[in-house]
Amino acid sequence: MGKHILSVLGTSLYMNSVYVYGGESYETSYVQEALLKLKFTDLEPGDKITVFLTEKAREENWVDRPYTEKEKKRLEGSGVKLPEIKEGLEQILKREYAPFLDDMETCTIPTGANEEELWTIFQVVFDHIQENETLYFDITHSFRTIPIQILAVINYARVVKNVQVDGIFYGAFEAGRKLEDGRIEVSILDMQAFLDMLDWSQAASSFIKYGNSDQMTEMYRIQKKKKRPEARQMELNKVIKEVENLTYGLETSRGYYSQKNETLNQNGKSILGSYRQYKEAYKNLQEKEEKEEAGKGKTILGPLRELLQVVDKRMQGFDVETNLQAGKAAIEWAIENKRTQQGFTALEETVKTFLCNYYGLDESTERDRDKICKNICQSLLRKQDGKDDKDLTEEKRLAKYDVWMESDYKKLLKKDASQEEANVLAQKAKNIFLTVPEELLPLIKEIGNCRNSMNHFGYSNIGTYSCHTLNKKLEKFYADWTRIADAMEEEKSKK
């Protein structure tokens, strides 16, 4: 679809003025004509002009009419020579823009004297917008409530009719400059940047409230396409990209960080790596802004800087050093943002990371994480009849350790493993069997069941968990595990 210019005609007696836009000027009584001459010089088939007006505006400024005696006295007193007839906007537009003019019979709006009329204005404006159009709004002569309604229509139509808004214009007559010959020079301001700021605010809010960076990424892409000043900042591009990498890392459970992996993949393969790259990019952006502010007193980012500060504050939970800390941050992020499936994945794996760290095993290997830590916890909990074992005495634990040593342990040893390596591994395994808290075992099992239920699309543990149950369990299980882990660390520090 083409361009669609929408304007509101008021009831005031408009003075002939010199309108200025984009370094050029045009003299007219109507800002609508000035905009068409200065901004929209390339209208083509498919483009449209719509002027909304009340009945009074139609009588005063749309159709031709004689000047009243009061108007004559007012204008002639200012030195303006009047023609016999005051030419209305209709004739001006029809002379040159008739093929583009909307059906004016349907463009009448009420004055907005009550809520019902306000909704009528909203509906009339919305009905004149077609799907996939690029809209340009002139709000110069709008009644005081209409600019707010226009913003509402814009956001509504962008969702419902997939329109794009590329300009919101205002002829600042009250701030006009008087020329030597007595004429008034009026600047036409493009208020689009303020709509952009609303969009940036919404995008930042989506990230802050729901942990979703897609709107921020899309907003930057749109601004870059429109060649907005802030989108030319490569530092901002890097910040937005790293925020995206972090959230995508969370959504795809990229919890393991190693310096080697991050060096091989500059885009960041992990949550922690992405956060660190984000912090570097954000620091570079701040430094550039400070230099610009010191040199010019004005920065390209402007109010966007405060939004980015709020985004940065929201991400501070990932300002950590270890994979264990990053895992905890990811779980808390999932709880806060209702990312339950991601949260259970992070929780199960972070419990394994904790056990590896606690018992001196390698957190990065499947052998230590699953075939030792997880497998031992399962062996301790399981009876021969398949039921959960309770009241694990030291005798029971040693018996289970002996069984494990005869079966699972032998499968873990490499063929070329030395006797010393075998003894160290056996001792670490024994330590887990004897000291891992009994209350942690059923918790690990239940966390795994919840994770499997979601990862298997509800076909695992059928009927056991509802969506709301899983949300609540994630928060409870995380609190339970944190309490157990803290107690273990405290006990260890006493030894």
Gap between the Cα atoms of 198 and 151, Å rounded: 10
- Closest-CA residue to 104 (of 3, 2, 9): 9
| Torsional class of 458: left (φ above 0), alpha (ψ -120 to 50), beta (otherwise) | left
**Which residue type does 34 have?**
A
CB burial of residue 15 (10 Å; 0-12, 13-18, 19+): middle
- Closest-CA residue to 389 (of 374, 399, 379): 379
Gap between the Cα atoms of 258 and 337, Å rounded: 26
DSSP letter for each residue of 211-254 = ---HHHHHHHHHHHHTT-GGGG-HHHHHHHHHHHHHHHHHHTT-
8 A C-beta contact, residue 12 and residue 144: no
Question: So what's the pLDDT on residue 414?
Answer: 75
- Residues in contact with 146: Cβ distance below 8 Å, sequence separation at least 6, in sequence order: 8, 112, 121, 139
Gap between the Cα atoms of 404 and 71, Å rounded: 102
CB-CB neighbours of 452 under 10 Å = 14
**Residue 13 in tokens:** 């007696």
Residues of the chain with pLDDT under 70: 76-81, 231-232, 264-268, 294-300, 384-386
Question: So what's the pLDDT on residue 268?
Answer: 56
Gap between the Cα atoms of 31 and 37, Å rounded: 10
Looking at domain 3-190, does it have CATH number 3.40.50.2300?
Answer: no
**Residue 487 in tokens:** 């107690």
Gap between the Cα atoms of 112 and 124, Å rounded: 12
Domain ranges of the chain: 3-190, 198-318, 325-494
Question: So what's the pLDDT on residue 337?
Answer: 95
8 A C-beta contact, residue 3 and residue 50: no
8 A C-beta contact, residue 53 and residue 107: yes
DSSP letter for each residue of 386-399 = SSBP-S--HHHHHH
Q: What is the DSSP letter of 269?
A: S
Gap between the Cα atoms of 110 and 47, Å rounded: 26
8 A C-beta contact, residue 31 and residue 138: yes
* Strand partners of residue 203: none
8 A C-beta contact, residue 424 and residue 412: no
Question: So what's the pLDDT on residue 37?
Answer: 97
Question: So what's the pLDDT on residue 301?
Answer: 77
pTM for the structure as a whole: 0.85
Question: So what's the pLDDT on residue 390?
Answer: 84
* Percent share of the chain, pLDDT over 90: 69
pLDDT tens, residue by residue, 142-159: 777 778 888 899 999 999
How many H-runs (helices) and E-runs (strands) does the chain carry? 21, 10
8 A C-beta contact, residue 10 and residue 17: no
- Residues in contact with 300: Cβ distance below 8 Å, sequence separation at least 6, in sequence order: 229, 230, 232, 233, 289, 292
pLDDT tens, residue by residue, 171-210: 998 888 888 777 889 999 999 888 889 999 999 999 999 9
State how far the alpha carbon of 288 is from the alpha carbons of 123, 303, 491, in Å.
46, 15, 49
Helix, strand, coil percentages (3-state) for the chain, rounded to 5, are 60, 10, 30
Gap between the Cα atoms of 196 and 183, Å rounded: 34
Question: So what's the pLDDT on residue 242?
Answer: 93
8 A C-beta contact, residue 203 and residue 218: yes
